[in-house]
Structure 1
Amino acid sequence: MSKKPDNLLEFLNGTFALYPEEIKLYEEAFIHSSNNSSLNNQRLAFLGDSVLRLIIREHFFKKNPVSDIGELTKICGEEKETNKNFANIAFKLELVKYMNIENPPLDYETNEILNAEVFEALFGAIYLNRGFDETKRIAEKYILTNLEL
């Protein structure tokens, strides 16, 4: 099992100015599906992916008020909503260090899928615990600034 830092709550407070009401939800966001447990981060990653895409699309929708659907699709672009972008941000934040993962691959710290999955799961947990506005506040700081054209 990978070594994880002692205090997830301290990380969330210090990095995101986030004071979770329910830490168990955030702990779940860092449980990889390789653990032999029915509790893992896949459901939160599913939700987080959708929330992140909504935030990104809303941002570009508002930023380009006269663009039609074709232009918005091009401006927003699928490349802005990819695992690669989410993984790069997760890598910078060192999120995988907090993962509970059985037999991690040798490249687990830089593994795109693992990084994107934990990033999406974290945002799923933030959304469920704190709501859309708080999720958007954090996304604006950590995602949207990295996606500007």
Structure 2
Amino acid sequence: MPNNAFQRGDLIGHPFRDQDLLKQALTHRSAGAPHNERLEFLGDSIVNLMVAEALYQRWPKADEGALTRARAELVREGALAVIARQLQLGERLTLGPGEMKSGGHRRDSILADAVEAVVAAIYLDAGFEACRAVVLPWFQASMEALPATGRPEKDPKTRLQEWLQARQKPLPVYELLSESGEDHAKIFRVRCSVADPAASTGGTGSSRRIAEQQAAAAVLEQLDSK
């Protein structure tokens, strides 16, 4: 059950005038109507616009392809789920009994949808400028982690796959070793293994994808040193 501070929007940086908007944004369709699917639809467009505008201003010399790839990296499901965990949205979602039992509050797709729905709720409650002031800081760390050129390099998993394919070797295998921590501060441990040439190492991160990327990067270092 949401606490009073969260109902006011304090934890996401916006004090809602219309509390029903926030309540709807955090209600999954499994819990019945009114749920957050319409808000999610609107929020998806708002997030894409805000991030596109920020990238356009940040990288004045980047071409359309670079901007598109950067935006896709920032607004993908896994990235939005990380934001949801930082905002502690999972534990405050209203889910139907089936989703509650299956751990829906931890599922990336549900968390990402909730972020988009909350963005739309802020927009409807206070307008675009206020929404942008609240939402863009959520993406700041991820945006700063992108290459300053505006041309994101291929991620380690892609580079490892291409390295193996170029040599006609078996593809890597990723194994989830453990998952620990609270919903808003999860830690994932993953192992990446390559059969030929033999190489194996682990990675950790705040999402399974990040852990896999870290493990893949470490395997690439092993292969390059051989």
Q: How far did 1:145 drift? A: 2.5
Q: Indicate how the Cα distance of structure 1 residues 106 and 64 shifts in structure 2: closer, same or farther if over 3 A, else same.
A: same
Q: What corresponds to 2:50 in structure 1?
A: 55
- Counterpart of 2:3, as a letter, is D
More strand by proportion, 1 or 2? 2
Higher relative contact order by CA 8 Å / sep ≥ 6: 1 or 2?
1
Structure 2 matches for 1:73-112, cutoff 5 A? Answer: 73-74=68-69, 76-103=70-97, 104-112=100-108
- Counterpart of 1:50, as a letter, is S
Structure 2 matches for 1:13-52, cutoff 5 A? Answer: 13=10, 15-37=11-33, 39-52=34-47
- Counterpart of 1:6, as a letter, is N
Contact 1:56 1:144 in 2 (8 A): no
Q: How far did 1:105 drift? A: 4.1
- Residue 20 of structure 1 aligns to a residue in which SS? coil
Q: How far did 1:68 drift? A: 2.4
Bigger Rg, structure 1 or 2: 2
**Which residues of structure 1 form unaligned runs of 5+?**
none
Deviations 1:23-63 (A, max 9, x none): 111111011100232x1100001111111111111111001
**Which residues of structure 2 form unaligned runs of 5+?**
147-226
**Percent of counterpart pairs with the same letter?**
27
More helix by proportion, 1 or 2? 1
CA distance, structure 2, for counterparts of residue 72 and residue 36 of structure 1: 38
Q: Which moved more, 1:22-31 or 1:139-148?
A: 139-148
Q: Indicate how the Cα distance of structure 1 residues 77 and 17 shifts in structure 2: closer, same or farther if over 3 A, else same.
A: closer
Deviations 1:103-123 (A, max 9, x none): 124332321011111111000
- Counterpart of 2:134, as a letter, is I
How many residue pairs are counted as aligned between the two chains? Answer: 142
Q: Indicate how the Cα distance of structure 1 residues 105 and 56 shifts in structure 2: closer, same or farther if over 3 A, else same.
A: farther
Q: What corresponds to 2:7 in structure 1?
A: 9
Deviations 1:58-104 (A, max 9, x none): 11100111222233224x24222211100111012210222111112
Contact 1:91 1:109 in 2 (8 A): no
Contact 2:40 2:117 in 1 (8 A): yes
Q: Tell me how large the CA RMSD over aligned residues is.
A: 1.6
Answering whether residue 147 of structure 2 is matched by residue 141 of structure 1, we say no
Structure 2 matches for 1:110-129, cutoff 5 A? Answer: 110-129=106-125
Q: What corresponds to 1:72 in structure 2?
A: 67
Contact 2:77 2:108 in 1 (8 A): yes
Contact 2:74 2:142 in 1 (8 A): no
Structure 1 runs of 4+ with >6 Å offset: none
